[in-house]
Amino acid sequence: MTKVVDGYLRSPLSGIAPWILMSVLSAPGRFEEAVCFALGLVLLTMWVGARRGIKIHALDGFGAAFFVVLAAVGLIASDGVIDWMEIWAGELTNIALAVFVVATLIARRPFTLPYAKEDTPQEYWTSPLFMKINYVISAVWAGAFTFSALVGFIGDAVMRDPGNFWTGWVLQLAATIFAVSFTEFYPDYAGAKFAASQGESEPAPSLLKLIDWLPTFVLVAGIFGWVTDSIPDAVGIGMIVVGIIGSAVIGRLSPKTEKAST
């Protein structure tokens, strides 16, 4: 259990999780609850990390400040402002995080860098490969947050449905899960490619690992949407069938792909 906690605290996900929570939970009638949960999670992460001897990262501090401001708004703002925030808080959250990540890229300090240094010997911190991996992963996260903000905007402004099943939940969660999957996949992939360029033989992970989560995600989303009547029965059943078939296909292809890559 300790290894799991330390692994979480040393990964970028620990800094991103409160933002994801805020974006997903934020909806009409739930603004204050979403802010409280997000602020509570970021403070808990910082407290546990400090007790485990893990440094507080810039993303943690930025998140704490951002959610404190939102909490203050929830306490003192008028009902009209609260109503507006209930609709747009998710998009504001994604935009703020995307801007933060892009700013770290412009400053040549990718936000994943401090987390990566936690598990990487110091002699590699300035290597081109190490820096490239962090630039690419940070850019993917920036893209995921920007995508989430855009689809959320479509749901709120175009469809006028802040709680839309697709724009408010499924597409945003899919973007986040893809970024998490890429974060786990890319270091080994980039390392293998670099080794190959140096004439060394190192097995590269299968590209299939980038999407091996997708069938299960479609299956779960289909069940959830069907049970909650968020989507038509036919769509829910279709997603469940696609998820089951997709899982079987991924299961059959994965061993062959991994064997081929070695």
232-251, pLDDT tens digit by residue? Answer: 999 999 999 999 999 999 98
Report the distance separating Cα 54 and Cα 43, nearest Å. Answer: 14
Half-sphere exposure of 173 (CA within 13 A, CB side): 16
Residues 38 and 102 in one domain: yes
Q: Which residue has the tokens 């995921």?
A: 144
Which run of H or of E encompasses 254?
helix 233-261
Report the distance separating Cα 152 and Cα 144, nearest Å. Answer: 12
Count of the separate structural domains present in the chain: 2
Residues 186 and 231 in one domain: no
Quick check: 138 and 108 in contact, CB under 8 A? no
pLDDT at 167: 93
The mean pLDDT value for 63-83 works out to: 92
Domain end among 187, 205, 223:
205
The alpha-carbon radius of gyration of the chain (Å, integer) is 20
Residues 174 and 65 in one domain: yes
Residues 7 and 47 in one domain: yes
Residues 180 and 211 in one domain: no
Residues 232 and 201 in one domain: no
Residues 181 and 143 in one domain: yes
Among 18-32, 215-229, 233-247, whose mean pLDDT is lowest? Answer: 18-32
pLDDT at 127: 94
Spell out the alpha helix ranges (H) of 119-232: 128-153, 165, 171-197, 214-227
Q: Which of 21, 26, 18 is nearest to 168 (CA)?
A: 26
Predicted structure pTM score: 0.88
Residues 125 and 187 in one domain: yes
Q: Which of 77, 79, 78 is nearest to 69 (CA)?
A: 77
Q: Which of 168, 257, 166, 165 is nearest to 210 (CA)?
A: 257
Show the domain range for 223.
Answer: 206-262
Residues 257 and 193 in one domain: no
Residues 118 and 138 in one domain: yes
Reported residue count of the chain is 262
pLDDT in tens, 97-111: 999 999 999 999 999
Residues 137 and 47 in one domain: yes
Quick check: 5 and 52 in contact, CB under 8 A? yes
Residues 154 and 90 in one domain: yes
